[in-house]
Chains A and B, each alone.
Chain A
């Protein structure tokens, strides 16, 4: 069963008036069909549906004004791996080789998956298995090799689908604050001065460590939303790594709460190059409990992230910039970072987020304790 809700057509939209239904109960709809017209502050908007199904019941009458998120109609789902286009031979081979066609990129006519695509995927699975065997003693965890250009394409698709789902399903709320990093950066400069280049720390490690510690105080944000809030014991922080060719990988730093600054830096040194080479382990891609995105360099101050479902929060750090800073009646120039929290309003409320950001700020003012 699919609930079709009043969509949010912009952060400022609170409600909309359903002007006209373009479908009736019993109608079969597919992704991209326009099923209703809604009057908003931005004018009359055609509303698309993003799932496939049969309209079961229309819950809101024409002319009714309803808030964003209100269920407008219910549909019976008919979606069974819709959209996978594969040749009969490719399907047969995939079944024989136990390959999930959803993970294969088609290169045939109209993007259809062909025999060759399945063979490539099968080869990738074999090399992944070899990799896995090789690592079994070293790491007792399932490993999976993401490879080839089709992986890059899959990543794009995965991002598209996860982000669409997120925007569709998660009512995000955003909080932001500006944090003075003077103390943290001074501490970092001091500590790095004594370190050789191999052991040097990047500012982002302080941020990650502070997030992990803040989450221990505000565990509601280290959670999944699955029919309600499910708090997670281990803090597995997904760290957004941009790929040079476009796309992102979000490997998780396992048990970030239990790792020191040095261990976090080691984890990044290990993970980031592998993420860029798209050679992550499956365990680094699942079980993530919260995501951090850091814009790093550049001049962009703020990032409003899209939560990666089923997580309930995403912490975004803007660039570290010099800003005018008023404190104790004095105006000064400080190195600051703007932090944004995107959180799932089904799971938590602004107060939770506010406690988190406050805690984060206070941790970053006492870098010695990190």
Chain B
């Protein structure tokens, strides 16, 4: 709904669907493929109605074979199409990892620059509603590890609305992480929102006391925490990484150079994670700007539990961020 500021209220799910629709309309080479994306409307109802609108050639249901259909998507991209491949959850993407890592990410290099792979692979990440240990993990770091891939994380409605359109303009493979837990979240975006740039991290809130560096669902939780902290007189800056590979390090380094303190927040497991990488880069390049050790809030290192209350405490929540920052700042 439009209001006087010319913004509209929209769910995260609807933002993705509008992006898909825009993409399908804009370029005939674009098609969507994945499990249940057609007739069922998407496992998370993201593509509901698109089959009716664009037909079965462009909204393609695939068998339950991630390796097969992701490979097909890569082939189609090489052949000149602009496929959008949906992998239901990052957990399932492991079956397609060989295709993504050994083919999509390497072919440009192995062909001496002759073969680009302009495939876009979307996958849902993180916990949803009690989907337990085989559907709920946050494995952005697996893909952020791979040279040859661009890895995006849509932590805001605007990015859910715009990242896909930008990704389709890339000549090389792009993995976009969307977040199951955010699908029903309402947010405001400009009425004319569309394509966004996908090179840079973004400051979602300016502050001077500490930099919260995060991505995905960490963004809205950190903003919530920052609002709480503001009541205590603590002015937190929130950095949304957005692009997990290649990292826009100048953004968060600049932020840390301003605030001199950093907390990295992610839902993923701590060990060998994005937060580990961020922390490292801060140490390497902004050590003499640090007024406190870099701290991290990460997911608890267990397979995601099923019960709601355990699910809730297995990832950082806004309250945890508030408490951690109070501790870092020695706020009584």
Question: Do A and B contact each other directly (Cβ–Cβ < 8 Å)?
Answer: yes
Interface residues of A (CB under 8 A from B): 87-92, 107-109, 112, 114-116
The CA-CA distance from A115 to B293 in the complex, in Å, is 13
Q: List chain B residues, Cβ under 8 A from A108.
A: 291-292, 330
Closest-by-CB residue of A relative to B260 is A89
Q: List chain A residues, Cβ under 8 A from B289.
A: 88-89
| Residues in B156-185 with C-beta less than 8 Å from chain A | none
Shortest beta-carbon distance, A107 to chain B, in Å? 6
11 pairs from A and B in contact (CB 8 Å cutoff): A87-B290, A87-B292, A88-B287, A88-B289, A88-B290, A89-B290, A89-B291, A91-B288, A109-B292, A109-B328, A112-B292
Q: Is the CB of A90 within 8 A of B330?
A: no
Q: Does B327 contact A (CB under 8 A)?
A: yes
The CA-CA distance from A108 to B295 in the complex, in Å, is 14
Additional pairs, 17, CB under 8 Å, beyond known A107-B330, A109-B330 = A87-B290, A87-B292, A88-B287, A88-B289, A88-B291, A89-B288, A89-B289, A89-B291, A108-B330, A109-B292, A109-B293, A109-B327, A109-B328, A112-B292, A114-B291, A115-B260, A115-B291
Q: Is the CB of B288 within 8 A of A88?
A: yes
Shortest beta-carbon distance, A105 to chain B, in Å? 13
Q: List chain A residues, Cβ under 8 A from B292.
A: 87, 108-109, 112, 114
Closest-by-CB residue of B relative to A117 is B291
Shortest beta-carbon distance, A7 to chain B, in Å? 37
In the complex, how many residues of chain B place their beta carbon closer than 8 angstroms to a beta carbon of chain A? 11
Q: When A and B form their complex, what is the total count of cross-chain residue pairs whose Cβ atoms lie within 8 Å?
A: 32
The CA-CA distance from A91 to B291 in the complex, in Å, is 9
Shortest beta-carbon distance, B23 to chain A, in Å? 46
Q: List chain A residues, Cβ under 8 A from B330.
A: 107-109
The CA-CA distance from A48 to B289 in the complex, in Å, is 38
Closest-by-CB residue of A relative to B257 is A89
| Residues in B288-326 with C-beta less than 8 Å from chain A | 288-293
Shortest beta-carbon distance, A144 to chain B, in Å? 27
A-contact bits for B196-240, CB 8 A (1 contact / 0 none): 000000000000000000000000000000000000000000000
* Closest 6 A/B residue pairs (Cβ): A89-B291, A87-B291, A115-B291, A92-B288, A88-B290, A88-B288
Q: List chain B residues, Cβ under 8 A from A112.
A: 292
The CA-CA distance from A108 to B328 in the complex, in Å, is 8
Q: List chain B residues, Cβ under 8 A from A115.
A: 260, 291
Closest-by-CB residue of B relative to A91 is B288
Of the listed residues A87, A112, A116, the one surrounded by the most CB atoms of chain B closer than 10 A to its CB is A87
Shortest beta-carbon distance, B315 to chain A, in Å? 24
The CA-CA distance from A355 to B176 in the complex, in Å, is 90
Shortest beta-carbon distance, B246 to chain A, in Å? 26
The CA-CA distance from A92 to B288 in the complex, in Å, is 7
Q: List chain B residues, Cβ under 8 A from A90.
A: 291
Q: List chain B residues, Cβ under 8 A from A116.
A: 291
Q: List chain A residues, Cβ under 8 A from B290.
A: 87-89
| Residues in B89-120 with C-beta less than 8 Å from chain A | none
Q: List chain B residues, Cβ under 8 A from A89.
A: 260, 288-291
Of the listed residues B290, B292, B328, the one surrounded by the most CB atoms of chain A closer than 10 A to its CB is B292
The CA-CA distance from A109 to B326 in the complex, in Å, is 11
The CA-CA distance from A91 to B288 in the complex, in Å, is 8
The CA-CA distance from A91 to B292 in the complex, in Å, is 12
The CA-CA distance from A92 to B257 in the complex, in Å, is 13
A-contact bits for B44-88, CB 8 A (1 contact / 0 none): 000000000000000000000000000000000000000000000
Q: List chain B residues, Cβ under 8 A from A88.
A: 287-291
Shortest beta-carbon distance, A133 to chain B, in Å? 31
Closest-by-CB residue of A relative to B328 is A109
The CA-CA distance from A91 to B287 in the complex, in Å, is 11
Shortest beta-carbon distance, A310 to chain B, in Å? 37
Of the listed residues A88, A90, A108, A112, the one surrounded by the most CB atoms of chain B closer than 10 A to its CB is A88
Q: List chain B residues, Cβ under 8 A from A109.
A: 292-293, 327-328, 330
The CA-CA distance from A89 to B258 in the complex, in Å, is 12
Closest-by-CB residue of A relative to B290 is A88
Q: List chain A residues, Cβ under 8 A from B287.
A: 88
A-contact bits for B267-295, CB 8 A (1 contact / 0 none): 00000000000000000000111111100
The CA-CA distance from A122 to B287 in the complex, in Å, is 22
Shortest beta-carbon distance, A22 to chain B, in Å? 33
Q: List chain A residues, Cβ under 8 A from B291.
A: 87-90, 108, 114-116
Q: List chain A residues, Cβ under 8 A from B327.
A: 109
The CA-CA distance from A89 to B328 in the complex, in Å, is 15
Shortest beta-carbon distance, A118 to chain B, in Å? 9
The CA-CA distance from A219 to B289 in the complex, in Å, is 54
The CA-CA distance from A88 to B288 in the complex, in Å, is 5
The CA-CA distance from A89 to B291 in the complex, in Å, is 5
